[in-house]
Copies of this chain bind each other. A is one copy, B any other.
Amino acid sequence: MSKYSFKNDYSEGAHPQILEAFTTTNFDQQNGYCDDDYSLEAIEFIRSKIQNPNAGVFFLSGGTQANLIVIAAMLRPFESVIAANTGHINIHETGAIEAVGHKINQIFTTDGKLKPSDIQNVVDEHENDPPHMVKPKLVYISNSTEIGTIYLKNEIAAISNVCKANNLYLFMDGARLASALTSEKNDITLIELSKYLDALYIGGTKNGGLIGEAIVINNPDFIADFPYHLKQRGALLGKGRVFGIQFREFFRENLYFELAAHANKMAQKLTKGITDAGYSFLSDSPTNQIFPIFPNKIIEELSLKYEFYVWAKVDDENSVIRLVTSWATKEEAVNQFVEDL
């Protein structure tokens, strides 16, 4: 491909440190199913980073799988999930949550973020007519969201409060958690954040891993049996070492956040360049996905040199595109894009 791609954050392989770790460990014989030395060490690193020594930490290959397994494990058949209409589980997972039996109660948002009052409304409406309606029981949020926005500390705290008041679990899709936590606007630490969550998953694939995600279960009710759920859905893999090796590198020191910081820096450079050129954005994103609005003519010309998604039509003349940066994005490409613009 001769065009430079801002299409997504999984266009390249893995950070070289991770590939190297595969090589150096390659001939060590290890147990299967994440009972290998690397996974066990990675689990301890993660527990330490969130300051929860009792957390259940489980590795698997993908985010849709992480979402469907956590939700299937936590809910009983008649319980439902509250999510934003833009939530990944609601529109981009081919009905994976419904396929394990659960309804998603959608909340309409313009910024991809749930508000406590909306959550309370959904709960209230569903208390009108039991047992003829599903019972909302889990709140799904993503951070950063599908349109690049992030939750601030007070927003998370408020959502947590409404969850606790209504006996709802709080689950965070962290496919792009690293980008959220290292973004300029972020004001919450991973430790603080994790304390508000019953469960989250920490994305690896989109942040320089070869392949893999880490589910973290803080709620003690769902830890012991979680491996059964993983196995039943096809997520407990014999060569679990593959995940352990990656997350050990991520969290041994600070690689996980360094990679995201680079992606964010590249996105901000693009944002500044685009803003300076006089264009506006769909959302106020401090993370590695940005959504500029361009005239269709300009989009056409940019698409001769760059790959990206056309996200939505604005009007007959203008559209939103999505530009995604990553750990591997080259600064020259960013500069060139701004210049071309």
Contacts and interface: CB of A to CB of B under 8 A. Distances in A.
Given A30-B1, A231-B132, A238 B96 contact: no
Contacts of A236: 62, 64, 131-132
**DSSP class of A's interface residues: helix, strand, loop or mixed?**
loop
Interface in A205-235: 205-206, 210-211, 225, 227-235
Interface residues of A, number: 80
Interface string A176-204: 00000000000000000000000000000
B102 A238 contact: no
A68 B92 CA distance: 21
A63 B13 CA distance: 23
A233 B232 CA distance: 11
A273 interface: no
A19 B102 CA distance: 40
B22 A95 contact: no
Contacts of A29: 1, 4-5, 11-12, 307
Interface string A15-29: 010010011011111
Contacts of A11: 29-32
A133 B92 contact: yes
A69 B130 CA distance: 17
A12 B32 contact: no
A267 to B, nearest CB: 17
Interface string A226-263: 01111111111111011000000000000000000000
A103 interface: yes
A279 interface: no
Given A227-B131, A231-B131, A238 B99 contact: no
Nearest to A25: B13
A302 interface: no
A98 B94 contact: no
Contacts of A12: 26-30
A113 interface: no
A229 B27 contact: no
B32 A13 contact: no
A27 B10 contact: no
A211 B22 CA distance: 12
Given A26-B14, A205-B239, A95 B72 contact: no
A220 B100 CA distance: 26
A135 interface: yes
A293 to B, nearest CB: 18
A80 interface: yes
A95 B232 contact: yes
A93 interface: yes
A26 B14 CA distance: 7
Interface in A97-151: 98-104, 106, 129-135
Closest 7 CB pairs of A and B: A65-B234, A13-B26, A78-B228, A131-B227, A61-B61, A95-B103, A64-B234
Given A73-B77, A78-B99, A210-B242, 6 more contacts: A11-B29, A13-B22, A96-B234, A98-B98, A131-B227, A205-B238
